[in-house]
Every structure is written in structure tokens, then in C-alpha cells.
Amino acid sequence: MKSVVLNKKVRGAFVPRSSNVELPFVAVTFAMTVDGKVTTKNYDSVDFTSREDKAHLIRQRALGDAVLVGHGTIENDNVRLGIPRDDLRKERIARGQPPYPIRVIVSNKGRINLGLKIFESNFAPIIIFSTTRMPRKTREQLQGKATLYLSQARRVDLRRMLQKLRYDFKVKYVACEGGPALFRSLLEQGLVDQLNLTIAPFLFGGKNAPTLTGVKVDFLPRSVRCSLKEMRVVGDECFLTYSVRKKR
């Protein structure tokens, strides 16, 4: 696996800065409580949804050419981001996709735990978008485990990341699984196309427990309008699919 520093001064190191570069479709999948919380104030991995919701998440993941998560999500959930169902893998192959999506992690600081389960399996490539803030020791340890793209900026440029996935890896559909900070950043830049939202029959409370858009008290730069495409109820849970209107 390789490590690439994305330097504006190096020609060809990244896709061109152009509005003509097509972006992949980005569908974000979340579950939240009735009062809008996606986890507790400690960001614990809380199991508050049904078996159907867990199957729903895997079905959404199986649609993607790439599955995208933020650093906090992969640290807290510690999952491999695979497709455990043989029927879904066969459907992917029938659509011309590989059995598993590319696994993509976003981490601004790059302080990634090498003991995570995702690094124990090699069924699909792992790509990490981070910055040169990533410790050198971590970079060395990730050699052979993941492909690194390191920006010299303080934060990962999410639009350019998506362009990179589309331009170099032919990714047309990104299944994003959070967390809320990543979702908020994608929303702020107008990069979300669809929101798959499960409402679970629980109330957590607490002002410090994150909602879909994190724990920031300030509003989004502008309101984001969603249009309901589908709704279904299974047991006490409600499964909603929204199309997200892009800012013009």
C-alpha cells in the first residue's frame, strides 16, 4: 500500500480542482432516538436498535462502491465494514461490483488505533484520508494495511476526497455511516444526496449527547431541506429515506 502527500505544488498529485469533476452519490445512514440522539454524551457504542435496523444498515452498505466512516465511528464501533450476508455479496457481483465495498476512513489528526478489527481483514482495500498531522509512527505502522492520502491542510477536504474516490477508484456510490461530525461537515459543503434514518423508540436526553449534526450549539450555515422519499414501520421503529436538496 502507498502513502501520498497531497501537495498543491505537485502537479498530478491529486485530481484537478474543477467543478466539472463528477462527485459520487453520497447516502448517509443513521439511527437515532425519538429525541434525536445518535449516542450518549460519552460517544459509547450503544445498542438501541433492533435486528431489523442492523440488517437495514448492512443492506445500505451493500449498495456502496465505498463505505465511508469518520475516525470516531470506527474507533467506537470497531467493525470490519464488511458484508456478512452471502446473498448481498452475490447481488453486488451481479451488478458488476466486487463482493465488498472499498473501506474509507476520514481522520483529521490521524491518531488511528492499529488494533482495530478493520485492520485484521483484507477482503477489501482500506483508504485513509488524513493530514500530515498523522504521527510518523502511525504512518509507518499503516504501511501494508491501508493506502494513505495526507493533506497538508489542518482538515481533510471532503469535496476533493470524493473527487479522488470518483476519479481514481471509480466510486459512483458512497455509503456513509457517520458519525455526526462527518455528517455535519458533508452537509455544510452540500455533499449529501440521501439520508437513511431510523427512529428508535427510546429517549436519552442530555444536551451533551450528540444529535445527527453533532454537539455544536450553532446552526448550520444554511438550512438543509429534505424531501421524504419512503417511509416504513417495522415493530416500533420507523425507517425513513430522504433526498437531500443541494444548495445552489
Residue 109 belongs to what domain range? Answer: 3-9+21-244
Q: What is the CATH number of the domain that holds 115?
A: 3.40.430.10
pTM for the full predicted model: 0.90
Give dist(CA 44, CA 88) in Å, integer. 29
The Cα–Cα gap between 68 and 74 comes to 10
Beta-ladder partners of 240: 197, 231
Is 14 contained in some domain?
no
Q: Collapsing DSSP states into helix, strand and coil, what is residue 236?
A: coil
123 assigned to some structural domain? yes
Q: What share of the chain is helix, strand, coil (3-state, %, to 5)?
A: 25, 25, 50
pLDDT-derived band at 219 (thresholds 50, 70, 90) equals confident
**pLDDT at 170 exceeding the cut of 90:** yes
- The verdict on residue 16 lying in a domain is no
Residue 148 has pLDDT above 70, yes or no: yes
Q: Is the pLDDT of residue 102 over 90?
A: yes
How many domains would you assign to the chain?
A: 1
How large is the average pLDDT for residues 213-233?
90
Residue 212, phi-psi category: left (phi > 0), alpha (psi -120 to 50), beta (remainder): alpha
Chain segment 173-203, per-residue pLDDT in tens: 999 999 999 999 999 999 999 999 999 999 9
Q: How many CA atoms lie within 13 A of 208 on its CB side?
A: 4
pLDDT higher than 70, residue 62: yes
- Nearest 5°: CA angle at 103, between 118 and 195? 115
| Mean pLDDT for the stretch of residues 136-151 | 96
Q: Which three cell numbers, joined as nine digits, stand for 104?
A: 474509507
71 assigned to some structural domain = yes
174 to 26, 105, 170, 236: CA distances (angstroms): 5, 12, 11, 28
Contact 83, 99 (CB under 8 A): yes
Which residues are 126's β-sheet partners?
103
pLDDT for 8-38, tens place per residue? Answer: 332 233 444 445 678 999 999 999 999 999 9
Banded model confidence at residue 214, pLDDT cuts 50, 70, 90: confident
